[in-house]
Structure 1
Amino acid sequence: MISVAPTMTWFWQAWLAAVVFVFPIPHTIALRNLLLLVGLLAVLATLRGARRSLRRPLLKPAAWALVATTAWLAVHSIAVAPAPTLALDNLRGDWVLPLLTAALAAYAAARVEARLAIRAVIAALLAHMLWMFGWQLWLLLATGAVADGSKGIVPFGERDYHSTLAGFLLALLLGERTAAHSGGDGFFAARPAWIGLGLVLLADVVLRVRNGTLVSALLLSLAALWMARHRSRFVLLLVFVVMLGGTSLALDKRWSGLKESLDAGWNSPSMYWLSGDQALRPTTASGTDIDDSAYLRAAWAHQAVQAIVERPLGLGYGRDGFGRAVEAKYGFKGMISSHSGWLDFALAAGLPGLALLLLSAGLAMRGGWRQFRQHGDAAGLMFCFLIGGYLLRCLLDGHLSGWRLGLFAFLCGVLIAAMKPAPGTLTAYPPPLLREKG
């Protein structure tokens, strides 16, 4: 007869991988919710099946900061927001649900060995990279080209969808390798881990998403410098940073006019950023054409900063705070994000809300770092890299909401469960087979 324990171990690994794999795919919300419901029911059915306690004393300050942030958002939605009902509904969907998703991921991942839970989510993220490579190979064989402009280069969504997934995967693998080569405990054998890192860096190159490349280069530089303190040969990883940057510069011609386009976006009085009227299209200081992406991001950021100065307590929680600010000032409907998650959050929850958010993230990174330094825990360092990389990407892109925030929260829950518990709580309950016999 098949033992219950191995069967449930396989179930939890498959469930973790399935949720991570489905999360970013458009038009799969019903399937995602079904998977989460199945996981919730399985957790409730195995309440005494956790292998590890979820007590993490080093993360307690971050937990209290997160509670304070949530309390501020609730009070703000009721007492400050011009439309309390809308703000509370946004708070439920874009904040409370990701927190519940993180909690569910933690309770589920605590039911299997840490290395198995980590490997399951890594495998799902890596599957997306392989899917993208396979898609591009099929396009090349079928049409003779990978893409026409930016179309067709990815199997679903947009390039920034896959860039987000690549960023998550890079942060996790870099954190694990850095820990393993700094005296900590790793989750993978060396060769598969380095192959995985090579694949995700290749994905960054073929995706050609500038903000993703910037974050990847910074994370890789930090990891290289830290590992070089212990083994000098790892300073050679900086060569990959140079190669990554050089390849991006060579393949993405937008870099050449970046500075002037940003300057035009921030300083030009043109309303091209709002109307898209080609007659209002500005030029750079040298008279060359602007890069639309850089120009628009700078112009939107400028408008967002002005709106924050005018309303430092925010307009009510929601991902469309920038759109509401633009509508109130110019009467133009339809805009949503400023393309900076930090600015969007400040516009929605006010400067106190942004300060609490960054405090929570900083304390979480500090707790993960201390977890690594005190216990040699790779999950703690992976937690640091994941939060740091996501926060930096949210500064450059409006990614602090939607499926990205939900998947980020899910991965955080898995990492928290994978961390070494407080002394004396390594196993919350006897192993299932012992309970059956006893």
Structure 2
Amino acid sequence: MTLLPALQTAFPNFSAARLFTLIVLFFWGVICIHLLDTLWLYWRDGYIHWGETRIVFNRTRMSFQVNMITGFLLAELLARGLLHQRFLRLSTPVLITILFSNLVCTALVDTRWGTIGLVGSLFSSFVLLTMHHMRRSKVILMGGTLVLLIGASAMLGYASWKTDPRWQTLESDAIAGWNAPLNSFCYNKPDGIVPINSLGLPMDHSNGCRASFFHRGWAIVAEHPAGMGPRKEAFNYILRRDLQTDKITVPHSHYGLIEFGLQNGIAGIAGWLILLVGCWYIGWRQFRHGNTMAGMFLLLFTVGFFSRTLVDHNLKDHYLEQYMMLTGLLIGICSLKPRNEKQSPS
């Protein structure tokens, strides 16, 4: 929150927009390196390495990075088209190029929740901007933009459906996994049994085990409402402790909010939600009363991060550090009067 004022004290012409643009570019550097590495692997091996990454630890981390940057880019491009305002100090062709590279990276990484997150960013940005600037003269423009967004979302969804076979058995796998036993491969992947779904097929690990983790995770939160204190792999620790076995190999529940509740209890979840509501309120107030772009970025980032905690374990390590850093920066930008800059027309 104090980073921008400190920088502007030493560099009076260093605006909030320039600082945020630099941060976006540095974050995008990870995505750029991944794309270059994918090209190198294709040239070396002769085929595309779908669903692989050597730049970060796993696909989830890359997906989080992509979605974070893409959300800002989509909001910026829609604001330029609908409100004729701009915040990031990059030309529109450059923004479109970066956005296209992010979409390519999303397809290469092949994460379902990442694709859903991109679609959510599209519609969230559009709805916010429509609420801010809805006039009769803009109905045709808004309608045309909505059609384009629906088309883009349909294309993303179709691509995910065709490239990810897990969608085909999602329902039957989730039903089979809801009450998966503790001796299943959900909890002991090397030696556990593989449940059979209603189609007579072996249950997909991602589809079925996520349902089991969700069911059992919230049940454990209810059993331990005070939490167990900070621990990175709380789900694994509690299962091993309560069952008196070391055969549980699953490291965590794969749900950020569940892990947070296991550590900090119901009161901790309530405190975290209060913090998010406060950030959302600041963003909404700024968005509606002048500081449109910074407020919208804060709104979208808060909603997007919370939504991801419902499906992925991101309330830890650098995920949480990035969120708190960018949230603090955006709150600082919202708290300061614009200095040496305006939300210039595009």
TM-score normalised to the size of structure 1? 0.68
Q: Which residue of the other structure, out of 291, 299, 302, is the alignment partner of 2:204? A: 291
Deviates more, 1:177-186 or 1:402-411: 177-186
Runs of 4+ in 1 over 6 A off after TM superposition: none
1:351 and 1:270, CA in 2 relative to 1: closer, same or farther beyond 3 A? Answer: closer
Name the CA distance, whole Å, in 2 between partners of 1:157 and 1:179. Answer: 34
- The answer for the alignment partner of 2:295 in structure 1 is 380
Residue pair 1:184, 1:376 contacting (<8 A) in 2 also: no
Q: Which residue of the other structure, out of 27, 33, 45, is the alignment partner of 1:143? A: 45
Measure how far apart 1:259 and its partner are: 1.6
Q: Which runs of 5+ in 1 are unaligned?
A: 1-38, 52-110, 428-438
- The answer for the alignment partner of 1:187 in structure 2 is 87
Q: Which residue of the other structure, out of 15, 28, 32, is the alignment partner of 1:113? A: 15
Name the CA distance, whole Å, in 2 between partners of 1:398 and 1:356. Answer: 18
Which amino acid is the alignment partner of residue 41 of structure 2?
L
Measure how far apart 1:47 and its partner are: 9.3
1:239-278 Cα shifts (integer Å, max 9, x gaps) = 1111111101111111111122122221233621222355
**% same residue:** 23
Measure how far apart 1:420 and its partner are: 6.2
Equivalenced residues, count = 324
Q: Which residue of the other structure, out of 302, 308, 314, is the alignment partner of 1:393? A: 308
Residue pair 1:377, 1:419 contacting (<8 A) in 2 also: no
Which secondary structure state, in structure 2, belongs to the residue aligned with residue 206 of structure 1? helix
Which secondary structure state, in structure 2, belongs to the residue aligned with residue 389 of structure 1? helix
Name the CA distance, whole Å, in 2 between partners of 1:363 and 1:121. Answer: 24
1:365 and 2:280 are equivalent in the alignment: yes
Name the CA distance, whole Å, in 1 between partners of 2:104 and 2:78. Answer: 19
1:160 and 2:60 are equivalent in the alignment: yes
- The answer for the alignment partner of 2:10 in structure 1 is 49
Which secondary structure state, in structure 1, belongs to the residue aligned with residue 10 of structure 2? coil
Superposition RMSD on alpha carbons, in Å? 2.7
Which secondary structure state, in structure 1, belongs to the residue aligned with residue 99 of structure 2? helix
1:383-429 Cα shifts (integer Å, max 9, x gaps) = 1111211111111011100011112222223323433625xx858xx
In the TM superposition, what are the counterparts of 1:224-239 in structure 2 within 5 Å?
A: 224-227=126-129, 229=134, 230=138, 231-232=141-142, 233-235=144-146, 236-239=148-151
Name the CA distance, whole Å, in 2 between partners of 1:136 and 1:400. Answer: 28
Which amino acid is the alignment partner of residue 166 of structure 1?
V
1:126 and 2:41 are equivalent in the alignment: no
Residue pair 1:326, 1:335 contacting (<8 A) in 2 also: no
Q: Which runs of 5+ in 2 are unaligned?
A: 341-346
Which amino acid is the alignment partner of residue 191 of structure 1?
P
Name the CA distance, whole Å, in 2 between partners of 1:275 and 1:122. Answer: 40
Structure number with the bigger relative contact order (C-alpha 8 A, sep ≥ 6) is 1
- The answer for the alignment partner of 2:263 in structure 1 is 348
1:43-101 Cα shifts (integer Å, max 9, x gaps) = 98x795375xxxxxxxxxxxxxxxxxxxxxxxxxxxxxxxxxxxxxxxxxxxxxxxxxx
Residue pair 2:189, 2:250 contacting (<8 A) in 1 also: no
Name the CA distance, whole Å, in 1 between partners of 2:336 and 2:151. Answer: 37
Name the CA distance, whole Å, in 1 between partners of 2:288 and 2:78. Answer: 12
Residue pair 2:188, 2:250 contacting (<8 A) in 1 also: no
Q: Which residue of the other structure, out of 322, 325, 343, is the alignment partner of 1:407? A: 322
1:109-160 Cα shifts (integer Å, max 9, x gaps) = xx8211211110111122222211111111111110122x644x44342111
